[in-house]
């Protein structure tokens, strides 16, 4: 076989092997990501990982810094008609209703899929196809049991009434029926002896740091990891936004039955700190910064 044919065959093989999943795209971005609380850990790091696995031109990211429906209304234009996948994060019921109301004015090129993370989603218009997210708690709860061997320890769960917090509480109560579990909406700590406090955000965590009891955060932001590293926290739950982002290319390129996305949270303690999503991203950014100097 002539050398140029061999070389051409090798180049073609390399391109096919490393090109990754194939996508189709219309006149605009295929993935629209709406974050109602863009500064929170999960949406921020989900976007970082999403941009690593999906071509940048395919993504339209929209951060909402106000809960006013008027701001959301300004962000939804005819360009969204090209969307294959729409991702909503941390939307209140009012924001969800406003989003669907504005989308009724849009003629989509195809029926877009919809992912809703931590959203108050009661019903879904026929305009969208919902992609469910299943959270597998088994491994995280197995590790958690090692932290609370005494069934007499009470669990105090302070939260902001987020949908994902209620899902966590329901699963937690099923797994730990022998423990007294106190669920309360913030504000205000309720220090108790022999208690473990689980909080849903790092904002609540900061208020509880002065108290001498076991403290665990249902977040794994950079701030939380810093407090864990210096010993102010016992552990943190990492919902692994990287794992959700990694499933998006396959979702865009496949056809057939509606898939179910999965999340497998991980309990992060001091000796597994480097396994947290936030730690990995921050380490890469730090290394890139050093190389640029």
The alpha carbon of residue 252 and the mean position of all alpha carbons in its chain are separated, in whole angstroms, by: 18
Whether 24-131 and 138-240+269-281 share one fold: the answer is yes
Q: Which helix or strand (DSSP H or E) is residue 14 part of? A: helix 3-18
Q: How far apart are the C-alpha atoms of 197 and 181, rounded to whole Å?
A: 10
Confidence of residue 158 (pLDDT cuts 50, 70, 90): very high
**In this predicted model, what pLDDT tens digit does every residue of 25-42 receive, in sequence order?**
446 789 999 999 998 999
Domain residues of the chain, as ranges? 24-131, 138-240+269-281
Q: Which CATH fold would you assign to the domain 24-131? A: Rossmann fold (3.40.50)
Query: Which residues fall within 8 angstroms of residue 264, CB to CB, at 6 or more apart?
Result: 135, 136, 139, 140, 240, 243
Q: How far apart are the C-alpha atoms of 67 and 230, rounded to whole Å?
A: 35
> Distance between the two ends of the chain, CA-based, in angstroms?
48
pLDDT at 66: 72
Asked if residue 91 lies in contact with residue 72, where contact means CB atoms within 8 angstroms, the answer is: no
Pick one of 1.10.540, 1.10.3470, 3.40.1760, 3.40.50 as the CATH number of 138-240+269-281: 3.40.50
Question: And the tokens for 223?
Answer: 């701030």
Looking at per-residue pLDDT, the higher value among 293 and 151 belongs to 151
Q: How far apart are the C-alpha atoms of 31 and 46, rounded to whole Å?
A: 13
Q: How far apart are the C-alpha atoms of 106 and 102, rounded to whole Å?
A: 7
């Amino acid at each position: 076989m002539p050398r140029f044919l061999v070389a051409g065959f090798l180049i073609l093989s390399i391109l096919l092997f490393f090109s990754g999943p194939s996508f189709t795209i219309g006149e605009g971005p295929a993935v629209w990501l709406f974050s109602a609380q863009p500064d929170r850990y999960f949406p921020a790091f989900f976007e970082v990982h999403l941009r690593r696995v999906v071509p940048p031109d395919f993504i339209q990211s929209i951060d909402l810094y106000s809960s006013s429906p008027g701001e959301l209304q300004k962000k939804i234009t005819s360009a969204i008609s090209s969307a294959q996948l729409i991702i909503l994060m941390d939307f209140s019921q009012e924001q969800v209703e406003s989003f669907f109301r504005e989308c009724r004015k849009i003629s989509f090129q195809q029926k877009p899929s919809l992912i809703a993370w931590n959203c108050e989603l009661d019903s879904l218009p026929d305009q969208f196809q919902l992609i469910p997210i299943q959270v597998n708690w088994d491994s995280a709860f197995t590790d958690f049991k090692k932290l609370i061997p005494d069934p007499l320890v009470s669990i105090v769960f302070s939260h902001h009434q987020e949908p994902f917090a209620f899902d966590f509480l329901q699963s937690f109560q099923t797994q730990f029926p022998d423990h007294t579990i106190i669920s309360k909406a913030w504000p205000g700590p309720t220090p108790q002896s022999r208690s473990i406090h689980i909080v849903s955000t790092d904002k609540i965590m900061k208020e509880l740091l002065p108290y001498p009891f076991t403290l665990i955060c249902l977040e794994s932001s950079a701030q939380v990891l810093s407090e864990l590293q210096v010993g102010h926290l016992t552990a943190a739950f990492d919902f692994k936004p990287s794992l959700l982002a990694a499933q998006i290319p396959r979702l865009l390129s496949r056809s057939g039955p509606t898939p179910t996305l999965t999340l497998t949270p991980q309990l992060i303690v001091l000796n597994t700190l480097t396994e947290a999503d936030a730690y990995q991203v921050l380490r890469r950014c730090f290394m890139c910064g050093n190389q640029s100097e």
